[in-house]
Every structure is written in C-alpha cells, then in structure tokens.
Amino acid sequence: MKAIIFDLDGVLVFTDKFHYQAWKKMADKMGIYFDEVINNRLRGVSRRESLEIILERYEGAPLSEKEKEDLMEYKNDYYKELLKTMGPDDVTEDTRNALKLLREQGHKLAIGSSSKNTKFILKQVAIDDMFDAVSDGTNITHSKPDPEVFEKAAQFLGESYDNCVVVEDAYAGIDAAKAAGMTAVGIGDATSYDKCDYKIKSLMELTELFK
Ligand code: BG6
Ligand code: MG
C-alpha cells in the first residue's frame, strides 16, 4: 500500500481564480501590472515568494518589511473572504469518490500544500476528515520546489519517502516530489512537464495505478 500525498490548490480544489482576484486587487492598489500569465508563476509558491514575483513589476521606492507584511495581509484578507464562498460542492464527485476508494484500498492519504490556509479550505469544502496527515505552509520553512512539505507529510504518516506518491499540478511541486525521492503524478498544468512519473486526467485513475 502506498502513502498518497495530495497538493491542495489546483488538485483537490480550484482556488487559483481566488488567488488571482486577490493578488490582482493588491496589484491594482499598488499600480502594478499583473495578469493571468504572471499568476501561473505563483502556482505552488509561498505567499511571500508570490509577493516578490509580483513586485518584480513595481516601480516605486523600495518597500519596508512592514509594508510587505501589510500587502500580504491585504491580499490574504480578501482571499479568505473569497474562500468563504466555497462549500462542499466545490469538490467534484470524481475527487470525493477517488479519495474514498483510495482509503478503502488501504492507502494512507495526506495533504502536502504550501498554503497556510489549508486547514481552513479543507473544512470549508468538507474533506477535512479524509486525510491521515496534513503538512502545509504552517509547518515548513522552505516552500516547493524544496521537498520539505512532502518530507514532513511522510514523517507525519510514519512512511518512508520511497513509498510515497505525490499528486501535483505545479512544476515546482513535481520537482519537490522528485527531490524527496517520491513518485510524482502530474495532473492539470503539470501534465506538460516531462519530470512526471505518471500523468493523469482524473484522480480516479490513481485507484487503478496504485491498486
Ligand atoms: C499554494 C498555491 O497552494 O499556496 C500558491 O498554489 C500560493 O499559489 C500558496 O501562493 C500559498 O498560499 P497561502 O494560502 O498561504 O497564501
Ligand atoms: Mg497546486
């Protein structure tokens, strides 16, 4: 039996549009150009690193640490307002069934996400009882492509890294999985990345791959 570690944003739930709207609101306030192409670079990347990527286009005077903290808080406050509009219907039937079946097959399931909002989101969409461990932005010091978030998930589960499978939509997440010595399954955007060990269209395919 395998331990299967799921990324959250872009794999189990589709919060990218909310990240985009919230960063866009902050960027507009600061007069910084920001679009969906730049938003794609934020996939799997921590809140702090996301801010730095957006600030590459900032032409004002250098910002203090306090100003950066305030900008991240401004973004996150609005992001959380948007997250509150999510509910159980925001997890697809396919995803719900796949998680249930994988558990019945005896696999251990965990979350490996850079997001500090992970536990809030899991509760909001009512899948917080489906996982044996949650490793997220609150328990790491290095974000993807560093393997820390997945290594911590394996440690929480008491599993060896080589018995873990990571399911990811971000290139940075696939790199992180491989750096940890884990099997990397790409879904969504990550299916165009040649470092994936497997590529899937639906989470239900996991129940066949790791029977
Ligand atoms: C990842 C997202 O899951 O979490 C990134 O893919 C995001 O886009 C990161 O920046 C951090 O999220 P949060 O919720 O802690 O701001
Ligand atoms: Mg993701």
Which residues lie below 8 Å from residue 143, measured CB to CB, with a gap of 6+? Answer: 44, 45, 46, 49, 114, 137, 149, 172
Which numbered atom of ligand 1 lies nearest the CA of 137?
Answer: 15
Whether cis (ω within 30° of 0) applies to the bond prior to 62 is no
pLDDT at 130: 97
Atom of ligand 1 nearest to the CA of 50: 10
pLDDT for res 113: 98
Query: What is the CA(208)–ligand 1 centre distance, in A?
Result: 30
Omega of the bond prior to 145 within 30 degrees of 0, cis? Answer: yes
| Pocket of ligand 1 from Cβ distances under 6 Å | 8-9, 19, 42-47, 50, 76, 113-117, 137
Task: Determine the pLDDT at residue 138.
Answer: 97
* 144: exposed, middle or buried (Cβ count in 10 Å: 0-12, 13-18, 19+): buried
Q: How many CB atoms lie within 10 A of CB 13?
A: 21
Distance between CA 211 and CA 208 in Å, rounded?
A: 5
pTM (two decimals): 0.95
pLDDT for position 1: 86
| Tokens encoding 122 | 């899991």
Largest CA distance in the chain: 56
Ligand 1 mean position to 211 CA, how many Å? 31
Cα–ligand 2 centroid distance for 61 (angstroms): 32
- The residue to mutate among 47, 83, 118, 146, having the most atoms of ligand 1 within 8 angstroms of its beta carbon, is 47
What pLDDT, on a 0 to 100 scale, did the predictor assign at position 190? 95
Tens-of-pLDDT digits for all 211 residues of the chain?
899 999 999 999 999 999 999 999 999 999 999 999 999 899 999 999 999 999 999 999 999 999 999 999 999 999 999 999 999 999 999 999 999 999 999 999 999 999 999 999 999 999 999 999 999 999 999 999 999 999 999 999 999 999 999 999 999 999 999 999 999 999 999 999 999 999 999 999 999 999 8
